[in-house]
């Protein structure tokens, strides 16, 4: 076996010296970590109190292998497998120049640099975290969720061991099938499912091969309900380990059959989505990849509305999903007035007109050309797609809200929208993207509140920068004079409600009524919070005023006692005299 470097220690020599592949060096001592079975499997030659940490590492690795095979000898072909232990840096793995490395990665154990006290061990499709590895009180716990890592790290999708063993053993109960089940426990859970389907002649449920098979883990359970309006994008982002935009967009494109229809290269598509996600600034509280994933999910909900589903072409759907995923690409976390008054090069480049939206569009076109995603299409078709992509992204400019809303209202009043017309379909896509971009007030309160706090914090961060450099603070960006509730109530009243009211006229469905209902409830909730904060501040002011009065009275009494005379004592002295 090759030497494997983990955390600065060479452990390959230890495996060669002490691991014979038959389990012969391990014996029961009657005590220890395996107390639930009444015995221990601590190696006879291993003194855990005196040996270096690397031996403790190997001890726990043996524990997990023993648990998988129910303390039976480990087959030699398993020990000879390469790539069982690998060191990975979160930033270098997922953002690798060649995404095909993702499909080649089958490491079971990896050490992540963002958490230097944990090993992530992936066996049978599950993830076990060894916390405090190099301490004496090593604790082992099985994860149903995820250990948070930095964005762009590989998503470790977890399956409960109990569920896994139940699935593996539910096929047959005969004694002759026991050795087969033991072998299955040593294989990847997904490989077992694929091999069993192949043997039974059952076709794959997924029409196209997914680069990373862990995609079919817990995140896939959420993707089955991706069309519901209460889809929790924050939970999905945690389940995908910060890769919600890549996973969601890839799933939707594949679900619509667009990858096959447009003959998109899988590697190019995956690389494009990874680069899109990486170009979103993760340090932005609001305009980040999670917001892009949320907008893409909302766009998918609108594309499923009856008025659109029966009229839009596959080309329209592809364009709408790509535009949703890239609509805020490379957002700097500040608004257009800030870029203009600071003479930013982007403002100069785009002549102070839709500065951010032009930047998002050109950045998306740059990634499309760099990855060559549409390079196999005729040049004219590729250019038309780039132009129409820009038309959709430019429609999200909030400064042009009234322009698009007036045109939308005019079409609805005259009832002259004809979705068989390509230009009308494109206009509806623009309005759908505008609604998806600002749909946060229409989400359920638990989701809407989080988004409101994030966007307000981004406003306040811009205001802090403007104060630091002695610039005029932009409206809504001063944290001393604005609150989340005031900003959200104003946004709903003057921006969101007029837009979604017209959208409900166009598509009077259950979803439209749900969005309007959520917006009304959220607006009332913010109003209630505002009243509570106002009453609390007033009580604080009254208590402060009362305390000041008491302090003044105490100071007066002190001066009276020190001087020996007061207005009350003088009359008493006069009466006595």
**Which 3 state secondary structure label does DSSP give 128?**
strand
Residue with tokens 């509305």: 305
Contact between 430 and 327 under an 8 Å Cβ cutoff? The reply is no
| Contacts with 260 (C-beta within 8 Å, 6 or more apart), sequence order | 207, 208
* Annotated catalytic residue within 65, 154, 184, 287: 287
Contact between 241 and 292 under an 8 Å Cβ cutoff? The reply is no
Residues 198, 199, 204: CA angle, nearest 5 degrees: 25
Cα–Cα distance list, 515 to 130, 142, 490, 518 (Å): 44, 39, 17, 5
165 is catalytic: no
291 labelled ligand-binding: yes
**Which 3 state secondary structure label does DSSP give 82?**
coil
Rounded CA gap, 408 and 502, in Å?
A: 8
288 labelled ligand-binding: yes
DSSP 416: -
Backbone angles phi, psi at 5, to 5 degrees: -95, 120
Q: How far apart are the first and last CA of the chain?
A: 112
488 labelled ligand-binding: yes
Can you give 392-405 as a three-state secondary structure string? HHHCCCHHHHHHHH
Contact between 101 and 107 under an 8 Å Cβ cutoff? The reply is no
Please say whether the dihedral angle defined by the alpha carbons of residues 302, 509, 496 and 498, taken in this order, is positive or negative: positive
Contact between 527 and 489 under an 8 Å Cβ cutoff? The reply is yes
Rounded CA gap, 444 and 521, in Å?
A: 9
* Tokens describing residue 551: 């302090």
The DSSP bridge partners found for residue 127 are 122
Q: Quick one: which of 10, 9, 369 has its CA closest to 1?
A: 10
Q: What is the DSSP string of 460-474?
A: HHHHHHHHHTTPPPP
437 labelled ligand-binding: yes
* Tokens describing residue 129: 């975290």
- CB neighbour burial string for 349-367, b if at least 16 within 10 angstroms, e if fewer: ebeeebbbbbbbbbbbbeb
Neighbours of 73 (CB within 10 A): 13
The DSSP bridge partners found for residue 129 are 120, 141
DSSP 126: E
Specify the DSSP element, H or E, that contains 165: helix 161-169
Q: Binding site: what residues are annotated?
A: 287-291, 327-328, 437, 488
Q: Binding site for AMP: what residues are annotated?
A: 287-291, 328, 437, 488
Q: Binding site for Zn(2+): what residues are annotated?
A: 291, 327-328, 437
Q: Catalytic site residues?
A: 287
């Amino acid at each position: 076996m090759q030497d494997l470097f983990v955390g600065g220690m060479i452990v390959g020599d230890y495996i060669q010296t002490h691991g014979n592949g038959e389990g012969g060096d391990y014996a029961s001592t009657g005590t220890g970590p395996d107390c639930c079975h009444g015995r221990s499997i601590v190696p006879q030659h291993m003194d855990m109190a005196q040996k270096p940490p690397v031996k403790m590492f190997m001890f726990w690795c043996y524990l997990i292998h023993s648990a998988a095979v129910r303390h039976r000898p480990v087959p030699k072909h398993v020990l000879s497998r390469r790539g069982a232990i690998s060191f990975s840096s979160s930033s270098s793995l997922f953002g690798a120049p060649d995404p095909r490395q993702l499909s080649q990665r089958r490491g079971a154990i990896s050490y992540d640099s963002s958490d230097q006290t944990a090993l992530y061990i992936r066996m049978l499709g599950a993830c076990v975290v060894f916390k405090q590895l190099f301490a004496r009180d090593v604790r082992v716990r099985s994860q149903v969720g995820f250990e948070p890592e930095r964005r762009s790290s590989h998503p470790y999708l977890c399956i409960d061991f109990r569920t896994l063993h139940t699935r593996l053993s539910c096929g047959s109960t005969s004694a002759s099938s026991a050795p087969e089940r033991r072998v299955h426990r040593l294989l990847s859970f997904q490989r077992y499912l694929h091999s069993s389907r192949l043997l039974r002649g059952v076709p794959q449920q997924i029409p196209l091969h997914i680069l990373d098979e862990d995609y079919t883990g817990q995140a896939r359970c959420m993707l089955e309900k991706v069309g519901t309006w209460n889809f929790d994008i924050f939970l999905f982002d945690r389940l995908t380990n910060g890769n919600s935009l890549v996973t969601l967009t890839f799933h939707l494109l594949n679900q619509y059959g667009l990858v096959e229809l447009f003959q998109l290269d899988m590697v190019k598509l995956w690389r494009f989505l990874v680069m899109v996600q990486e170009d979103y600034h993760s340090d932005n509280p609001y305009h980040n990849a999670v917001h892009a994933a949320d907008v893409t999910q909302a766009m998918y909900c609108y594309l499923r509305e009856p008025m659109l589903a029966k009229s839009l072409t596959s080309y329209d759907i592809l364009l709408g999903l790509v535009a949703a995923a890239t609509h805020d690409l490379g957002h700097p976390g500040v608004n257009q007035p800030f870029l203009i008054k600071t003479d930013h090069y982007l403002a100069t480049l785009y002549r102070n007109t839709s500065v951010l939206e032009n930047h998002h569009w050109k950045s998306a076109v740059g990634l499309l050309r760099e990855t060559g995603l549409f390079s196999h299409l005729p040049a004219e078709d590729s250019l038309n797609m780039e132009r129409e992509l820009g038309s959709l992204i430019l429609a999200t400019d909030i400064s042009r809200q009234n322009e698009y809303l007036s045109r939308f209202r005019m079409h609805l009043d005259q009832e002259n929208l004809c979705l068989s017309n390509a230009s009308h379909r494109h206009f509806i896509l623009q309005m759908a993207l505008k609604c998806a971009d600002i749909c946060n007030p229409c989400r359920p309160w638990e989701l809407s509140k989080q988004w409101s706090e994030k966007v307000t914090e981004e406003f306040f961060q811009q205001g802090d920068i403007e104060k630091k450099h002695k610039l005029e603070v932009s409206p809504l960006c001063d944290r001393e004079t604005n609150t989340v509730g005031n900003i959200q109530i104003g946004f709903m009243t003057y921006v969101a409600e007029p837009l979604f009211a017209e959208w409900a006229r166009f598509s009077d469905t259950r979803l439209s009524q749900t969005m309007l209902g959520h917006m009304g409830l959220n607006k009332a909730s913010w109003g209630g919070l505002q009243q509570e904060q106002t009453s609390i501040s007033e009580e604080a002011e009254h208590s402060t005023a009362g305390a000041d009065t008491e302090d003044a009275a105490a100071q007066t009494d002190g001066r009276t006692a020190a001087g020996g005379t007061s207005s009350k004592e003088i009359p008493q002295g006069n009466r006595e005299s």
